[in-house]
Amino acid sequence: MCNTSGGHGAHAHGTLSQAEKALADLRNDLTEVLKMVNQYEYQKAIMSGVDFPAAGEVVHVLGHLLESQKEHAAVLIELIGKIDVTQRKMFEGNGEEHEHEHEQGHEHAGHKH
């Protein structure tokens, strides 16, 4: 049976390290922020086509909220990259070789993509 207690910093099979837990939380946060980006873009597009008092102000505020959420997404992506070297390499374009392997159906690490 696997040890899943992971006591005293141990990285037992089936448990997440502190860094992996932080990454999972940051990725969940990023998901929520990106959902807000989509929501604000949708609302801004809808509100841009309506005519009522203060509609322009609503569109203006939605634009600021949208910009703020995009900034939050960028910060989260940067934090994720600081913790996850593989992810950072993908953003830096250093994952191109790995992508090429996928296109060629290259087998690695005991499995085929």
Q: What is the pLDDT of residues 41-69, one digit of tens each?
A: 999 999 999 999 999 999 999 999 999 99
The pLDDT value recorded for residue 38 is 97
Hey, where are the domains in the chain?
A: 18-102
The pLDDT value recorded for residue 2 is 43
- How would residue 28 be classed by pLDDT, with cut points 50, 70 and 90? very high
Q: Over range 96-111, report the average pLDDT.
A: 55
The pLDDT value recorded for residue 58 is 94
CA-to-CA dists, residue 103 to 12, 58, 94, 112, angstroms:
34, 46, 16, 11
CA-to-CA dists, residue 6 to 10, 11, 17, 27, 96, angstroms:
5, 6, 8, 23, 35
